[in-house]
Amino acid sequence: MDNALGEPQTILLLGGNSDIGLAIVRELLSPNARTVVLACRDTGKGEQAAAGLRHDRLAVHVVQFDGAASNTHEALVRSIGEQYGDIDLAIIAFALLGDGEATSKDVAAATEVAAVNFTGVMSATIAVANRMRVQGHGAIVMLSSVAGERVRAANAVYGATKAGIDGFAQGLGDELAGEGVHMLVVRPGFVHSAMTAGLKAAPFATTPEAVAAATAKGLRSKRRTVWAPGILRVVFMTLRHVPGPIWRRLPLG
């Protein structure tokens, strides 16, 4: 359970190798934190990440997790709760970027991205939310993206999954608010990370650490949504209403 200062003592990161997710964990670790669980597909890489977090007062565990295997998510979350106690904070940070040119034409590639980014994220989030309902407390950080605010042709499948999961998280968050569980939807722009390595940076590009700082601030103030950087909220207020013919000509990547 969160301590008297509202600091999480047990943190679950679904997507345990995510640069942004790990940055959020580091940002939110307090001297009173006791347990971090990194749930990831590549547990070898997860162990490397765990080694960077672990110290004598903090236990860091790595567990196998496949975002696409929705039928395993409920049992996994139940097992984590049984082994490590109440989950104070869950960060939903797993996703596939996909090759935009390929996924808009390749049915199998598009389905793989959708299975992880929407179906998998939705099932894992519901599993976590159900655990927190029983606890009567907890917070969920949903890593969305500005890509879902207005889906670009350059990566339509990825953007569509982010649009869908953003809407789902907002709706579920409104339901959970009356049950002691807080949902924070985080909408980063382009983030310099392993996922985006080799890609041309978009305007207002940011870092995992900057997203983490904005997330921590949003959690403390019980925000519903956070933009990272904040200026993107204003930018997309305009872009959302740009006529289609003009939108298609904008150099947005």
How confident is the model over 132-148, as pLDDT tens digits?
A: 999 999 999 999 999 89
The CATH code of domain 10-247 reads 3.40.50.720
State yes or no: is 84 an active-site residue. Answer: no
Of the candidates 158, 168, 190, 227, the residue annotated as catalytic is 158
Q: What DSSP string runs through the chain?
A: ---TTS--SEEEEESTT-HHHHHHHHHH--TT--EEEEEES-HHHHHHHHHHH-BTTBEEEEEE--TT-GGGHHHHHHHHHHHH----EEEE-------HHHHTT-HHHHHHHHIIIIIIHHHHHHHHHHHHHHHT-EEEEEE--GGGTS--GGGHHHHHHHHHHHHHHHHHHHHHGGGTEEEEEEEE-SB-STTTTTSPPPTT-B-HHHHHHHHHHHHHTT-SEEEESTHHHHHHHHHTTS-HHHHTTS---
Segment 29-88, tens digit of pLDDT: 998 899 999 999 999 999 999 999 998 889 999 999 999 999 999 999 999 999 999 999
Across residues 80-106, what is the average pLDDT? 94
State pTM to two decimals. Answer: 0.92
CA 16, CA 145: separation in Å to the nearest integer? 18
